[in-house]
Chains A and B, each alone.
Chain A
Amino acid sequence: MFIPQDNERQKITELKISSGYDTCFSITDDVFHNKKLYGRIEKPHDKFEISVSGCADTGLNVFEEFTAEGSSYPYCPFSTTVFGAQTKLTMPGANIRKYHSSLCLDTIPHPYNKTLRIMRAIPEVLKYNSGSTEIHETAENALTLGKGVCQDYAHIMLSLLRMEQIPARYVVGMMLGEGASHAWVEAFCRGYWYGFDPTNNKLVNDEYIKVSYGRDSSDCPVIKGSFYGNGIQTQKEKVNVEEIQTKE
C-alpha cells in the first residue's frame, strides 16, 4: 500500500505504521517516487491488517512544481509522454469522443481553463453512485453508464485531458470528512501540476491529503496483494481524517 509523503502542498509528521501480525515490512518507492509499504505473512492466516496514522500539514501551496530528473521543461519526453498517453482504462471510445466534441474545448485557449471546463462539465453527465462500476472500470464504460464513483470521474477527466494533449495524472488521497479514500486528477499546465477534483467539482485545497499518483487507478491501488491457497477474500478500508488545527 502507499503512504503519504511530503510534497509542496503537504508535510507529513508523526507517521506510525502498525499491523496486528508478526509481519515483516519494507518501505520502498515506485517509479513515480510514491512511497510504498510492502510485506508478507508466511504463516497460515485469515486476516491481514495494517494501520497507518499521522499528521498532515496541508494547503502549503496550490500546485506542485514540475521536477524532472536530468531534463528540464519544456523538453521532458518521459513525463509528458507517460502522463500524456491514454491507458487501457482511459482510452476513449465512441461515447467519450462524442462527449469530447460536445464540450467545444477548442474555443478555450489556455490548458488550465480547458481543465476547469472539463472538471465542471463531468458532474453534469455522471451521477455519483457507489457500487455501480467495477474496480477497474474503463472511462468509456462509466460514461456510458452515466454513474460511478470518484475513480470514474477521474478516469473520464484524464481521458478528456489527454485528448486535449494535456498531460494528466491520477491521484489517490484522502479528504476531510470522507469514510473512504478519494481520487482526483492533476493536470499539467504551464509547467505546474494543479489538482482538480471532478467528483466534488472543486479545486484541490487544504482539505486534501495526497497519498500516491500514477497513470490511472491501476498504478496506485490503495492496497493490493496476493496469497497462496483456496480462500476467498474481502477487503475493508477505513479512512478517518480529522482537522486538528487551523492555521491563521
Chain B
Amino acid sequence: MNDLIRNAETINKLLSRYGVKFGIYKNGEFREQLFPFDPIPRIIGNDEFSYLEKGLRQRVDALNCFLSDIYGKKQIVKDRVIPEEFIFSAKGFLVPCDGVTPPKGIYSHISGIDLVQSKDNNWYVLEDNLRVPSGASYPMIARELQRRSAPDAFTKNDVIDNRNYADLLKEVMDHVNTGGINVILSPGRYNAAFFEHSYLAEKTGAVLTTGKDIVCENDNLYYIDYNGKKQRVGAVYRRISDEYLDPMTFYEESVIGIPHIFEAYRKGNAALLNAPGNGVADDKGIYYFVPKMIKYYLGEEAILMNAPTYLPYYEKDMQYVLDNFDILVIKDVAEAGGYGVVFGSSLTAEKKSEFIALLKAEPRRFIAQEVIDFYDLDILDENGTKVPRKADLRAFVLTGRTTKVWASGLTRFSRNPDSFIVNSSQGGGFKDTWVLSR
C-alpha cells in the first residue's frame, strides 16, 4: 500500500499523458480537466461484496423486466403498482420504442448503479444509470498503472483481479450480436468520455467509430472501413444518448447519430447497447418504485435498500416533505450530473418559500430524500495528509446470458470537504476499488 501512495503523483502524471481526462462544457466553452486519482483504495471485503452482488443482480434483473413490460404489455401500470403519470408522460419514455423488442430481450446491458455507505455501515442505492453509464475505464487504467508501480500489492492483499471488465463487456456484445462485427459508437474526440470509448474499443476488440462510418441500408447496418469495404454490424455499444442517436427518429438536428439506425434495431437486425428508451426506468421518480418492481416481477424482497424517498405526488408524502423540509434533500427528476439537487437546510427563507411554491405547482417533478450520513473515506490532500471526504461507488452490472457484477467499480469522492456531490462533472476525483477474495 505504501508503494501505491508513494507513486500517486507519477500515476496521476501518467493518467494525464494517457488522456484520462474529463471534458466539460462550462459557459459555452469546452475544457478538459484531469480526473484526479487518489491512491488510497476503497476496500470491500468478500462477504460484503457477495451481498452487494446479490442485491445488484436482483435490482438490475427487475429493472430489465420493468423495461420489457413498459414497452410491451404494461402490466405493472394496469395492475396500478405504478401510476401512469410516472411513465407515459416521463421524459424518458420514448414513444417510438413502444412495442419494440431488443435482441435477446435485454434492455439494460451495462448498468451503473450508484451506491453509498452510511456511517452505520448500511449500503443504499442512490441512483440507477441505465442509459449510457460511463466510468469503468478509470479504475481499469488506474489499476493497470498501479500494477506497474507496485506489481505485488494486489496479490499480497488478496485483491480480486479486475482486468476482466473488457471480457465481460465483450461477452455481452457477442451474446446480443445479430451477426456482424461489434462497434463502439462515439460522438467523437470532444466528448467528455472519449478516453473511455477508445480504451474500451481497444480492450474489447470492437471497432471504434463515429456516426459517419456507419450506414443503414435495407434495414441493416454496415461499417465502411478505410478501404471503402462494407462490413455488417451486429452490435453497437453506443456512447451517444437516445436523443442524438438517430436524426430520423429522434432529435432531427443531430449530426453525430446514424440516420435510420433505429429501423435496423427495431427490425432486430442490430443490437443497441443499451436499448433506447431506458430513461423511463432510471428516472429519479421511478427510483421510488424499484423495490416495488422487485416484489412485482421477481416475487422477492429487495436486498439493497433505497435511500428513504418521498414522492410529493402523493399527498401524504407532500405533507411530510413540507413538515420536514429542512432535513431533506430535494431532487429535480429531470436533472442529472449533480445538478438540480437542493438541500432544504441550505435555502434562505425567501428562496425556500419560492421553492415550496414550485414544489406545490409541479409535484411530479421532484423527489425528496433523507440526507444519508455518509461513511467518509480518507483521501490524501495536497500536503499528503489523510482527510475524510464523502464518496460513493458506481457498481457496473452487465447483463448478457446472465447478470454479472464486476468485482471492482468506480469510487468517486468530493474534494470539497462540505460537499455531498461527487460527480466527476463537478470536479470530483476517483479511487481504486478493491474487492477482496477473503
B47 close to A (CB within 8 Å): no
Q: Which of B95-103, B284-292, B322-330, B395-403 forms contacts with chain A?
A: B95-103
A77 close to B (CB within 8 Å): yes
Residue interface mask B253-284, A partner, CB < 8 A = 1:
00100011001000100000000000000000
Contact B78 A31 (CB under 8 A): no
Query: Distance (Å) between the CB of A89 and the closest chain B CB?
Result: 13
A26 — which chain B residues lie within 8 A by C-beta?
218-219, 263
Contact B99 A31 (CB under 8 A): yes
B78 — which chain A residues lie within 8 A by C-beta?
71, 75, 77
Given A40-B217, A77-B77, the answer on whether A30 and B96 have CB atoms closer than 8 Å is yes
Chain A contact residue count (CB 8 A cutoff): 23
Residue interface mask A73-114, B partner, CB < 8 A = 1:
001011001100100000000000000000000000000000
Q: How far is the CA of A42 from the CA of B216 in the complex (A)?
A: 11
A13 close to B (CB within 8 Å): no
Contact A85 B77 (CB under 8 A): no
Chain A contact residues: helix, strand, loop or mixed = loop
A75 — which chain B residues lie within 8 A by C-beta?
78
Contact A28 B263 (CB under 8 A): yes
Contact A70 B260 (CB under 8 A): no
B252 close to A (CB within 8 Å): yes
Of A69, A70, A85, the residue contacting B89 (CB under 8 A) is A85
B88 close to A (CB within 8 Å): yes
Chain B contact residues: helix, strand, loop or mixed = loop
Of A40, A81, A85, the residue contacting B215 (CB under 8 A) is A40
Within 8 A of B (CB), among A203-248: 215, 218, 224-226, 228
Residue interface mask B215-252, A partner, CB < 8 A = 1:
11111000000000000000000000000000110001
Query: Distance (Å) between the CB of A225 and the closest chain B CB?
Result: 8
Of A69, A218, A224, A225, the residue contacting B99 (CB under 8 A) is A69
A228 — which chain B residues lie within 8 A by C-beta?
212
Contact B252 A224 (CB under 8 A): yes
Contact A31 B98 (CB under 8 A): yes
Residue interface mask A142-158, B partner, CB < 8 A = 1:
00000000000000000
Given A70-B73, A82-B95, the answer on whether A38 and B263 have CB atoms closer than 8 Å is yes
Query: Distance (Å) between the CB of A79 and the closest chain B CB?
Result: 10
Candidate in B78, B95, B216, B218 with the most chain A CB atoms within 10 angstroms: B95
Query: Distance (Å) between the CB of B285 and the closest chain A CB?
Result: 15
Query: Distance (Å) between the CB of B175 and the closest chain A CB?
Result: 26
B267 — which chain A residues lie within 8 A by C-beta?
28
Chain B residues close to A by CB (< 8 Å) = 73-74, 77-78, 84, 88-89, 95-99, 212, 215-219, 247-248, 252, 255, 259-260, 263, 267
With contacts A31-B95, A82-B95 known, what are 19 further pairs, Cβ within 8 A?
A24-B218, A26-B219, A28-B219, A28-B267, A38-B263, A40-B217, A40-B260, A69-B99, A70-B73, A77-B84, A78-B98, A82-B88, A85-B88, A218-B252, A224-B248, A224-B252, A225-B248, A226-B248, A226-B259
A-B contact pairs, 24 of them (CB 8 A): A24-B217, A26-B218, A26-B219, A26-B263, A30-B96, A31-B99, A40-B217, A40-B259, A40-B260, A42-B215, A69-B99, A70-B73, A71-B74, A77-B78, A77-B84, A78-B74, A82-B88, A82-B95, A85-B88, A85-B89, A215-B95, A225-B248, A226-B255, A226-B259
